Amino acid sequence: MRDFSADHSLLSINTATVRQQGDLLAIIEGCVRHSIQAISPWRDQVATVGLDAAAKAVRTHGLKLSGYCRGGMFPADASKRQEARDDNRRAVDEAATLGAACLVLVVGGLPQYSRPGSAVSHDLGAARAQVEDGIGELLDYARGARMPLAIEPLHPMYAADRACVNTLDQALDICDRLDPTRSGALGVAADVYHIWWDPNLFNAIRRAGRERLLAYHVCDWLVPTRDLLTDRGMMGDGVIELKKIREAVEAEGFSGFSEVEIFSALDWWTRPMDEVLATCIERHKSVV
């Protein structure tokens, strides 16, 4: 297990963590101020400042990108399917332009939430089939761009509206069917917030192995959790056994960044960016 205590060279900041405190260029400047060496930006944040300006800032400061958030939202009715396809190809292209390590896929839930305007359906099995078809199709495109796709299983509380892939095993089943040779083109983003509760977690991490573990995200699960979406905790403030999970991931040979991704409307989004980044560094060194 790697030693994080001496420095924060393996810390990445998912830029959603400080999305309320500034635009992407301001966040990049903040990261540079704190000698943070990697980020994972969101598409809407990139769009706001412009792809070229974002790419230039990344290059100028020599930042690495542990991922790019996000492609996905595959379930759609016929009227929205082309939109979903085009949108995901643009996400691959943007990720390549920015030099991201992978494109993270939040796969989408039922079509009316995944691609608003789609006809209402409660058929979760059909949504899951569409997700697999969509990933399969995008994978061909992403191979051409040499951009690995990282399926992020989301917590089951998001199954209806955000992602109907809800466990590592379910994501790995998709990977095994679409990329049986474990080529490196398709894998998973393992976010502790979504997977910590899984009784099969440690088996699933072993099953994933180095080839499938494309990204590792940390935050914490608060008790009580006051909001399903925006009440994630800072590492160390909740109940997740962070070191135990990281140890398992690294035992498989994962050598990437530990990416902090915190959505916190009531707490961390209300604090100054420098305080949040300094706290991420401190917790990265002490409890992650």
Residues that bind a copy of itself (CB under 8 A): 110, 113, 122-124, 128, 155-157, 159-161, 164-167, 170, 196-199, 221, 223-225, 228, 238-241
CB of 209 to a copy of itself, least distance (A): 21
Helix segments in 118-229, DSSP class H: 124-144, 168-178, 192-195, 201-212
Query: CB-wise, 148 or 233, nearer to a copy of itself?
Result: 233
Least distance from C-beta 267 to a copy of itself, angstroms? 17
We find the least distance from the C-beta atom of residue 238 to a copy of itself, in angstroms, to be 8
Terminal CA-to-CA distance of the chain, rounded, Å?
A: 11
Closer by beta carbon to a copy of itself, 29 or else 77 = 77
Structure tokens at 169: 């095993």
> Which two three-digit tokens encode residue 165?
């892939």
- Of 110 and 135, which CB lies nearer to a copy of itself in the complex structure? 110
Q: Which helix (H) or strand (E) holds 218?
A: strand 213-218
- Locate 110 and state its tokens: 């039922």
The DSSP letter of residue 196 is T
Least distance (Å) between residue 215 CB and a copy of itself: 21
b/e map of 41-75 (b: 16 or more CB within 10 Å)? bbbebbeebeeeebbebbeeeebebbbbbbbbbbb
Nearer Cβ to a copy of itself (67/109) = 109
**Please, what is the minimum distance in Å from the beta carbon of residue 39 to a copy of itself?**
29
Q: Give residue for tokens 């940390």.
A: 218
- H/E stretch holding 154 reads none
Least distance to a copy of itself, CB of residue 170, Å: 5
Task: Give the phi and the psi of residue 11 in degrees, each rounded to 5.
Answer: -90, 135
Nearer to a copy of itself, 196 or 257 (CB): 196
Supply 86's token pair.
Answer: 């085009």
Radius of gyration of the chain (CA): 18
Q: Which is nearer to a copy of itself, 198 or 250 (CB)?
A: 198
C-beta of 131 vs 142, nearer to a copy of itself: 131
Minimum distance from CB of 169 to a copy of itself (Å)?
8
